[in-house]
Structure 1
Amino acid sequence: MSITRRSILSSSTMVFALQGAAPAASIKDTVNVGFIGSGIRGKQLIDEFKAVPGMRGVAVADLYDGCLVRAQEQFENKLVTSKDYRTVLDNKDVDAVVIATPDHWHERITLDALSAGKHVYVEKPMTWSISEGPRIIEAVKRSGKVLQVGSQAKTSTLTAKAKELIAGGAIGKVNMIRMGNHRNNAEGAWEYPIPPDASEKTIDWPKYLGRVSKRPFDAKQFFRWRCWWEFGSGVAGDLFVHQLTQMHEYMGVRAPKSAVSQGGIFRWNDGRTVPDIMNSLLEYPEGFLVDVYVTQANSFQPRGILVMGDKGTLQLENSRITLTQDSKPTEAQFYGSANFPKKLRDEYLAQFANETRPERVAPQEIAVERGPSHNSFFIDSIVNSKPSRENAEEGHHAAAAAHLCNIAFRKGTRVTYDPVASRVRS
């Protein structure tokens, strides 16, 4: 569908079914999948992948007995479970793995999985630190396997439509993007309930710590790991990265060149070390700013993402895009000429006597039909030898942008980023 800016603006409402989007995976064979990490997000991923034709779950690994029991319930007791993820990697029946562990384990398990000859789906952020990204990228190249990162919005039809509109000049030159996330309850602040049987008998605490310094068992740090820098990457790595990945896709850009951040713990003084409110401003070399923030202390949710250009604005939310064209300004400057003597001002304004006042342009809503799931693209890539729809390079740059926000926050200064060398300077 070829859509010009003029043709879009000529109608008030248009429903868009994305043409050229990948259909549901054309399955030629069954992909046997092992799941490493079956906590809250891992449980969701199991349910999501079960809905993908051609996927068969065969193994699950998790460090908490309760998660293994629940995984068996999900698969009706028809899979192998273990507390050691290497059991999944050593399983010859496993073609691919889905990694949904805390962030500090992503790199190690991803590298081990690729070395074991498995395809990899790894939850966002792909990495816990910027330095891990290049190592994963090189490992993927050596392996020849598919790696897909789990930032679902990247492959959505909404994102594809926004990309088409922006590239086609519908809002002119983009100069500012604003993205936010509001939540104001314990669940939204990651204060998840602790299972009553949580103990060192049901959880492999030493294995969970991995490279993190030894410390006494703490069920909160296990089940609420997002609240600690040692295990997670704060609101930026957990929440910014969704929108950053999507933004990189519809803007067709790779990485920011600098970032500044402010934030702190303003409400949830529960022992966490990461901020519950953080606001970052990133500058991109293509010539635009991105204002991104999360608050875990307010529930008011502004409508969607705002992509602002010099000719209009796109508002992205759920399954629709709202396009608002900027009104053409009048040439006559009534305020700007207020300091003229009356005679000169009258003569100046007389030049514009025949100019009509611009009318406010009504917003146009573009409804976007839902497309295939992000998960289905992973299976499709494996079965039909297609490129990953969110590859290691893309995962690295999106995660790096989030990590850059964290570095700026923790250093308390503006930091710059060289994506070629993956180097940060302050």
Structure 2
Amino acid sequence: MSKKNSRRSFIKRASLTSAALSTSPFLLAASSNNRLILSRSYTHQEFSANNQINIALIGTGIQGIFDTQAALKVNGVQLVAACDLYTGRLERAKELWGQGIFVTRDYREILNRNDIDAVIIATPDHWHQTIAVAALNAGKHVYCEKPMVQNFNEGQEIIKAQKNSGKICQVGSQGMSSLGNEKAKQLYEEGAIGDIVMLDMYNDRYSAEGAWQYPIPPDASTNTVDFDTFLGNAPNVPFEPKRFFRWRNYQDYGTGVAGDLFVHAFSTLNYVISSHGPNRALATGGLRYWKDGRDVPDVSITLYDYPKTETHAPFNAAFRINFIAGSGGGGGFKLIGTEGEMEIGQNSVTVNRSKLSMTPSGYSLISFTEEMQQKIKNEYAAKNLEPRSSSLSTGTTTWEAPGDYKGAHYDHFNNFFTSIRSNGKVIQDPTFGLRAAGAALLANESYSRKQPVNWNPTEMKLM
């Protein structure tokens, strides 16, 4: 790559392209303290009974239900089957979607059915790779919840299975498809914040539910829960309801706060700035409050290094999770650049720009005589040291989703089903999914080793 083909030339090319769009690019139209409404248009199409996409849900827990509810809002999609290892969830599936759906504890019965076109995999993390590969090999399209894998070495098998099958595989970080992410990408490519120098991401929680202390039904027993199958390739342990219903709290079945929450941020970040991800991570943290048998931290801080690429300057990223934030909780995702900062949410984007002061103030002039102070001010004024020639305005501008926006979750499934019908490309394929998961898993690797770890984001390998 020549030096001329740099980050700034990328920005320039993107800006020229964006300037021709009808969305009033930030370079031309942003103004101070403005609030603008974004738009999303959908193509409404009716489908006959013979042209429906039949789906099945594998893993009828919290996220599986939310996924299915979002999927069924897309025209031409119907649920025909559900699978779970707890009998009560199969009963709940029939309550939600009708007594006529097929239910089973064995996901293989789902994959053997000829009337199922696609599956949603919303199981604990340690089952993702096994079921995703089996589903693709069985000729099913796959929507796999994030993180795509529990371990680094599992990703290539899913990538290979998807390519060999020719089926569509979407990874479920739904924010990827949001209006907020889409606008943020456009603004970044237009140069709205200049060269990125830092990312600040945090997620603070202050509730038992937010810390994954999910309710355990009083009928939980070896009769109602297939615990042996749940364990899968994890170590064999006696039946313990907490491990089944609160699996995120255990390394054997989940991926901790990094795999559950960092991965969303990496999906957004890598999409917005067109990056493959970081090449180095250093993590710290600990179990500070929720000492309920879990073996993963409830406080986690990880610093990441992103190398220079054609689409971004080298920068640093700080990811922080706190499950016992006494302030009450909250979250943020902020890209900080040389010319501004961008706060990104699924339904909004805010860009804030200030003037860069290059002249000395009274603080540094105080040791000079008043005559010398004036001479120094005159010299600085004559030099015009402002290094930026950008036409962007200063101040704050916010773009918001309209009131009738269907949401990121709908958009992500709409992208999935549209790709199935058109044999097109999804926004988060297995390669993208592995890069997002791999970056998140670096936090666990560094925390375990108690040292920095290196990663090749292009080849998706630990170094």
TM bin (shorter chain) = over 0.9
Shift of 1:312: 0.6
* Secondary structure of 2:210's aligned partner: coil
Residue 200 of structure 1 pairs with residue 238 of structure 2:
no
- Of 369-378 and 100-109, more deviation after overlay is shown by 369-378
CA distance, structure 1, for counterparts of residue 69 and residue 27 of structure 2: 43
Mapping for residues 174-185 of structure 1, pairs under 5 Å = 174-185=196-207
Q: Is the 8 A contact 2:39 2:401 kept in 1?
A: yes
Shift of 1:134: 1.3
Shift of 1:15: 2.1
Q: Could you say which residue in structure 1 is the equivalent of 2:140?
A: 118
Residue 402 of structure 1 pairs with residue 440 of structure 2:
yes
Shift of 1:344: 4.5
* 1:115 partner letter: N
* 2:417 partner letter: I
Q: Could you say which residue in structure 1 is the equivalent of 2:262?
A: 240
Shift of 1:354: 8.6
Shift of 1:214: 0.9
* 1:146 partner letter: I
* 1:259 partner letter: A
Q: Could you say which residue in structure 1 is the equivalent of 2:102?
A: 80
Residue 422 of structure 1 pairs with residue 443 of structure 2:
no
* 1:374 partner letter: H
Q: Could you say which residue in structure 2 is the equivalent of 1:380?
A: 418
- Of 44-53 and 201-210, more deviation after overlay is shown by 44-53
Aligned residue among 308, 320, 331 for 1:293? 320
Mapping for residues 9-408 of structure 1, pairs under 5 Å = 9-10=30-31, 12-18=33-39, 23=43, 29-286=51-308, 287-298=314-325, 299-301=327-329, 304-338=332-366, 344-352=372-380, 361-369=394-402, 370=405, 372-408=410-446
Shift of 1:17: 2.8
* Secondary structure of 1:363's aligned partner: strand
CA distance, structure 2, for counterparts of residue 100 and residue 423 of structure 1: 25
- Once the two structures are superposed, what CA deviation does each residue of 1:161-192 show, in whole Å capped at 9, x if it has no partner? 00000110011111111111111111001111
CA distance, structure 2, for counterparts of residue 313 and residue 242 of structure 1: 20
* 1:364 partner letter: T
CA distance, structure 2, for counterparts of residue 202 and residue 121 of structure 1: 27
How has the CA–CA distance of structure 1 residues 402 and 352 changed in structure 2, closer, same or farther, with 3 Å as cutoff? closer
CA RMSD of aligned residues (A): 2.3
* 1:386 partner letter: G
* Secondary structure of 2:303's aligned partner: strand
Q: Is the 8 A contact 2:348 2:400 kept in 1?
A: yes
For structure 1, the 5+ residue unaligned runs are: none
Q: Is the 8 A contact 1:303 1:317 kept in 2?
A: no
How has the CA–CA distance of structure 1 residues 352 and 302 changed in structure 2, closer, same or farther, with 3 Å as cutoff? farther
* Secondary structure of 1:266's aligned partner: coil
Q: Is the 8 A contact 1:25 1:377 kept in 2?
A: no
* 2:143 partner letter: Y
How has the CA–CA distance of structure 1 residues 16 and 252 changed in structure 2, closer, same or farther, with 3 Å as cutoff? farther
CA distance, structure 1, for counterparts of residue 115 and residue 381 of structure 2: 80
- Of 265-274 and 416-425, more deviation after overlay is shown by 416-425
Q: Is the 8 A contact 1:26 1:380 kept in 2?
A: no
Q: How high is the sequence identity, in percent, across the aligned residues?
A: 35
Q: Is the 8 A contact 1:25 1:376 kept in 2?
A: no
Shift of 1:8: 3.4
CA distance, structure 2, for counterparts of residue 11 and residue 341 of structure 1: 38
- Of 381-390 and 404-413, more deviation after overlay is shown by 381-390
- Once the two structures are superposed, what CA deviation does each residue of 1:109-140 show, in whole Å capped at 9, x if it has no partner? 00100110100000011100111111111111
- Once the two structures are superposed, what CA deviation does each residue of 1:52-107 show, in whole Å capped at 9, x if it has no partner? 21111111111110011101111111111111000000011111110000000000
How has the CA–CA distance of structure 1 residues 342 and 395 changed in structure 2, closer, same or farther, with 3 Å as cutoff? same
* Secondary structure of 1:139's aligned partner: helix
For structure 2, the 5+ residue unaligned runs are: 1-21, 309-313, 387-392
How has the CA–CA distance of structure 1 residues 150 and 400 changed in structure 2, closer, same or farther, with 3 Å as cutoff? same
Shift of 1:345: 4.3
* Secondary structure of 1:148's aligned partner: strand
Q: Is the 8 A contact 1:260 1:415 kept in 2?
A: yes
* 1:98 partner letter: I
Shift of 1:246: 1.0
Q: Is the 8 A contact 1:181 1:294 kept in 2?
A: yes
How has the CA–CA distance of structure 1 residues 25 and 354 changed in structure 2, closer, same or farther, with 3 Å as cutoff? farther
Shift of 1:24: 6.0
How has the CA–CA distance of structure 1 residues 350 and 48 changed in structure 2, closer, same or farther, with 3 Å as cutoff? closer
Shift of 1:300: 3.9
Shift of 1:302: 5.0
CA distance, structure 2, for counterparts of residue 27 and residue 230 of structure 1: 43
* Secondary structure of 1:324's aligned partner: strand
Shift of 1:304: 2.9
Number of equivalenced pairs: 422
* Secondary structure of 1:351's aligned partner: helix
* Secondary structure of 1:56's aligned partner: strand
CA distance, structure 1, for counterparts of residue 265 and residue 431 of structure 2: 17
CA distance, structure 2, for counterparts of residue 423 and residue 338 of structure 1: 55
Q: Is the 8 A contact 2:179 2:348 kept in 1?
A: no
* 1:295 partner letter: N
CA distance, structure 2, for counterparts of residue 342 and residue 240 of structure 1: 54
* Secondary structure of 1:395's aligned partner: helix
* 1:222 partner letter: F
* 2:304 partner letter: L
Shift of 1:348: 1.9
